[in-house]
A = this chain, B = another copy of it.
Amino acid sequence: MVETIEYQPNRSELGHTIGGRTPVLRIHPGTGLRVACEDCFGGRVRTTDDLPSQVCDPHRLNPVSGPFHIVGAEPGDTLAVHIVAIEPTRDWGVSATYPAFGALTGTHQTPNLQTPLEERVWVYEVDRDGETVRFQDTNGRYRVDLPLEPMIGTIGVAPSGGEVRTSVVPDAHGGNLDSPQVRACTTVYLPVNTDGALLALGDVHARQGDGELCGVAVEIAAHVTVVVDLVKGVAIPGPRLETDTHLMSVGCARPLEDAYRISQHDLVRWAAELTGLDTLDVYQLVSQAGTAHVGNVCDPNYTMIAAIDKTHLAGAVAFGGIHQRLRGLADAVR
């Protein structure tokens, strides 16, 4: 049986940075952790009248729970966070157009002189039993049910070099990856940059389209259950993911082709290391067998994910098979 720690933050314990905060808990590798996470608006946007720019402090968006000190984690290690379950807390979620945010509007990084897009809120019904979320248009004329596919928007560790980053930014430390691949049954690997790693997470989505087009997903509060473990003495350059079938590398950058390059480059290097094949051969294999997934095209860094089916990699086993082991533990945690 795996010990599982419950963590429910007070509002004052929520953080808005990755790094730079005192740990709220110490967690031993191999431990389960069930964390309550607020939505990206801190729960303040509940109706179509609650415009985010009016009800939220712009410096206090995207709250994260944590950080959790992982006992024994040291720089140069890799943190493995296996996601066991993501359970929506409420029967609703929200989305919005937020000022100067999103891929089809001017932003602080791509400014223009046009009149800003209207700020508007959409409230979705979340049917946890039926596993759907219901979109409704502004006039209430049109409704459609979309699959409930919960995912963690923000998960990361303290950055390297003593940096502290807002929780809105994704980068080599993880953070606001906003990628649908970060879901239950996936193991997230993060580079440990500081003693204790300082894991933080939040910003759960009931679902999102690829790229998080308008900048805001179907935002929900949720309980997230993970099992945490360490790969000692193995360093990675940025986030990686593993599922039962795939290995994935995450790239965070602008322009978007650089996020593509980083993710594919890391996957080629990783696969070459795991298989012992020549790097150019792996470059070729990934060119034909690899897939590319768009996380976000709206955050301060964009996110893309490179993936390959493990059966194409000559039976390669990553990180000593830790994913498979954590998958087993997950049943004990659930």
Complex Cα spacing A104 to B290, Å = 14
Verify B290–A142 contact, CB threshold 8 A: no
The verdict on A294 contacting B260 (CB below 8 Å), with A255-B254, A265-B111, A312-B146 known, is: yes
How many identical chains are in the complex? 4
A7 interface residue per 8 A CB criterion: no
Known A-B contacts A113-B280, A142-B277, A287-B212; A164 and B166 likewise in contact (beta carbons under 8 Å): no
Tell yes or no: A6 within 8 A of B by CB.
no
Query: Cβ of A244 < 8 Å from any Cβ of B?
Result: no
Residues of B within 8 A of A215 (CB): 287
Closest B residue to A21 by CB, please name it.
B162
In the complex, chain B residues whose CB is within 8 Å of the CB of A138: 278, 280-281
With A258-B109, A277-B142 as contacts: A265 and B104 at CB distance below 8 Å: yes
Establish whether residues B106 and A17, one from each chain, have CB atoms under 8 Å apart when the complex forms.
Answer: no
With A135-B285, A144-B289 already in contact, 17 other A-B pairs whose C-beta atoms are closer than 8 Å:
A20-B164, A97-B280, A103-B260, A104-B112, A109-B253, A112-B112, A112-B117, A113-B117, A135-B288, A137-B281, A142-B275, A209-B288, A210-B291, A210-B293, A213-B287, A254-B254, A292-B297
Number of interface residues of A (CB under 8 A): 89
A106 x B114 contact (CB < 8 A) = yes
Of B114, B135, B257, the contact of A256 (CB 8 Å cutoff): B257
Known contacts A20-B20, A104-B265, A135-B285: A290-B113 contact under CB 8 Å: no
A110 at the interface (CB under 8 A from B): yes
Most buried by B among A104, A208, A255: A104
Chain B residues contacting A237 (CB-CB under 8 Å) are: 108
Give 15 A-B contacts (CB < 8 Å), ordered by A residue.
A19-B164, A106-B112, A111-B262, A113-B117, A113-B283, A114-B114, A120-B280, A135-B285, A138-B281, A144-B311, A207-B288, A210-B290, A211-B264, A217-B287, A217-B288
> A162-B164, A280-B118, A284-B95 are contacts. A105–B112 as well, Cβ < 8 Å?
yes
Tell me whether A294 and B297 are in contact in the complex, defined as CB-CB below 8 angstroms, given that A17-B161, A114-B105, A161-B17 are known contacts: no
Contacts of A53 in B (CB 8 A): none
A214 to B288: give the CA distance in the assembly, Å.
9
Q: Which B-chain residue is minimally distant from A193 (CB atoms)?
A: B59
Judge whether A284 and B105 touch: CB under 8 Å.
no
Which residues of B lie under 8 Å from residue A208 when comparing CB positions?
A: 287-288
Q: How far is the CA of A116 from the CA of B279 in the complex (A)?
A: 15
A129 close to B (CB within 8 Å): no
